[in-house]
Amino acid sequence: DTEVTQTPKHLVMGMTNKKSLKCEQHMGHRAMYWYKQKAKKPPELMFVYSYEKLSINESVPSRFSPECPNSSLLNLHLHALQPEDSALYLCASSQDGGGREKLFFGSGTQLSVL
Amino acid sequence: GEDVEQSLFLSVREGDSSVINCTYTDSSSTYLYWYKQEPGAGLQLLTYIFSNMDMKQDQRLTVLLNKKDKHLSLRIADTQTGDSAIYFCAAPNDMNRDDKIIFGKGTRLHILP
């Protein structure tokens, strides 16, 4: 299994809603990532978990809250988002998180904030 | 830190070769990557090259690395409509040792019939 699975594929939420994005991998990878991608732009790193510990937080606003319940699962909790947060949110995983590794991406959650 | 640059758009006739170019700044980069993103999808690792290699070939894909000029290219032979996508060049931020991968802005490959 070389897949990274993300749910939901699409999400529309209001600015007062609370929602969660989910990501799962069964490749035995110990590093998992959240990226944000705006249209026609490269992905921007948000968070990295390595061995279930948060190792990188790219100064992301607190309305985004990551959680790594175990080495296979990664969540992104969303609360009080702004319309400018509308984007494609990509989850990725890699072997250890050593920074030189191949990344395996999910197909993303397309988020629209109204 | 690392900076990765690539042209934004390339238009190629079906059956011709496509060459996508990339430059990077960190001469200590160990691996260099090419990712492909089709519309509505995530990024897919297409190929990669280790910094002690000059060339890597994988079926229709050829990666060339010029370390002196810090220039990386991806050649796609016999370009097909399924190759229409955005191609991202990526390099690790080895100089800063901060475990990040730096992506270029992406080259949108358009296939003409």
To the nearest whole Å, the CA of A108 is away from the closest chain B CA by: 6
**Interface residues from chain B to A (CB-CB < 8 Å):** 30-31, 33, 35, 40-45, 48, 88, 92-94, 97-101, 103-106, 108
Dihedral (Cα; B37, B41, B45, B58), 10-degree rounding: -70
Q: Which amino acid is at A91?
A: C
- Chain B residues within 8 A of A97 when measuring between CB atoms: 99
pLDDT in tens, chain B (113 residues): 778 999 999 999 999 999 999 999 887 767 899 999 999 899 999 999 998 899 999 999 999 999 999 999 999 999 999 999 999 999 887 655 566 888 999 999 999 98
- Hey, of B35, B52, B56, B99, which one would you mutate to test binding to chain A, going by the most A CBs within 10 A of its CB? B99
Contact criterion met (CB < 8 Å) for B98 and A98: no
Q: What is the pLDDT of residue B97?
A: 59
Give the confidence band of A1 by pLDDT, cuts at 50, 70, 90.
low
Q: What is the pLDDT of residue A2?
A: 67
CB-count exposure of residue B105 (10 Å: 0-12, 13-18, 19+): middle
Instruction: Look at strands A87-94 and A31-37 and give their pairing.
Output: antiparallel
Residue found under tokens 């992406």: B106
Q: What is the pLDDT of residue B98?
A: 62
